[in-house]
Amino acid sequence: MSEEMQTIEEDTPTSKPQSINDLKPKMKLNGIVTRIELYGAFIDLGVGVNALIHISQLGQEHVNRVADVLSVGQEVSVWVDKVDAARNQIMVSMIQPLAVDWNDLEIGQVYTGTITRLENFGAFVNIGAEREGLVHISELNHNYVKHPSEAVRVGEEVQVQVLGFSRRKRRIDLSIKATLEKPEAVAAPARMEAQVEEYDEMEEEEEALSAMEFALRQALGDDYDSGKGSRNRNKKASKNRRRNERDRIREQQDDILSRTLHVHQN
């Protein structure tokens, strides 16, 4: 239920206005029926100008005769519909006004409403307007929601923000997600951190192997077979294979050093 709706319900006729200038739309007042006509009745609100209530405003159901509902001298509760102080005209109604008129709606406005029903595509929320607003399933939460029942339930009171509306289509688009604080980025799990560390170790090994490979090529010159001295660069090669390649290169390097020493000794 919106704050505006609560204001209407709590706006009991305790403070009586003194003049027509004190009247505002949706204000609830008590009055006395002074005259009945075919098209409606006149109500004395105590402001110096009698208000008119049209026959169509006597109740939700159709009324054939004003006298079937009202009688002269009867005290009634009414809501102010329209006020024209310049013309001394007041229109009232016995039908409780909507908490949120189409003219009241604004994009970005936040209301408190009640979940009325759930569908696979979203949830309907009563904010006190002529039509229920729709919260699409993608606007229920910042997290993924497979079905609206995972995020809300019928009868639950929620905060919603107006995303858009169309009086012609009688549609109101709402969002619950827009009223929720966006969660912080989730820290990487421990296993991902371990994978990162392992990747770093592999990078270091690749750099070391590249340096050794370059040294071997310089030492062997044209007799060096690059196919034998290279390692498998496939990204899917296992860590053990890289280590075996490193050991093999070290053995070749030791062999080169040994032969070089032997030549100098002779």
136 and 203 together in one domain: no
Give the three-state DSSP class for 137. helix
Query: pLDDT tens digit string along 149-166?
Result: 999 999 999 999 999 999
Cβ neighbours around 26 below 10 Å, total: 17
24 and 88 together in one domain: yes
Query: pLDDT tens digit string along 47-66?
Result: 989 999 999 999 988 999 99
pLDDT score, position 232: 45
pLDDT at 238 over 60: no
212 and 239 together in one domain: yes
Distances (CA, A) of 238 to 78, 202, 243: 83, 10, 9
* Domain edge (last residue) among 43, 69, 93: 93
Higher pLDDT, 259 or 251: 251
Residue 115 belongs to a domain with what CATH number?
A: 2.40.50.140
Query: pLDDT tens digit string along 127-144?
Result: 999 899 999 999 999 999
144 belongs to a structural domain: yes
32 belongs to a structural domain: yes
Cβ neighbours around 109 below 10 Å, total: 15
CA distance 29 to 14: 8
Residue closest to 177 by CA, chosen among 153, 209, 143 = 143
Length of the chain: 266
Cβ neighbours around 71 below 10 Å, total: 12
142 and 199 together in one domain: no
User: What is the tally of structural domains in the chain?
Assistant: 3
80 belongs to a structural domain: yes
3 belongs to a structural domain: no
Query: pLDDT tens digit string along 172-225?
Result: 999 999 999 888 764 444 444 444 454 455 555 555 555 555 555 555 554 444
4 belongs to a structural domain: no
218 and 251 together in one domain: yes
108 and 81 together in one domain: no
CA distance 149 to 156: 11
234 belongs to a structural domain: yes
* Domain edge (last residue) among 147, 179, 211: 179
Q: Strand 122-126 vs strand 110-119: parallel, antiparallel, or unpaired? A: antiparallel
pTM over 0.75? The answer is: no
197 belongs to a structural domain: yes
DSSP label at residue 160: E
* Domain edge (last residue) among 179, 210, 243: 179
DSSP label at residue 47: S
Q: Cα 226 to chain center, whole Å?
A: 60
Identify the domain containing residue 236 by its residue range.
Answer: 190-265
The amino acid sitting at 259 is R
252 belongs to a structural domain: yes
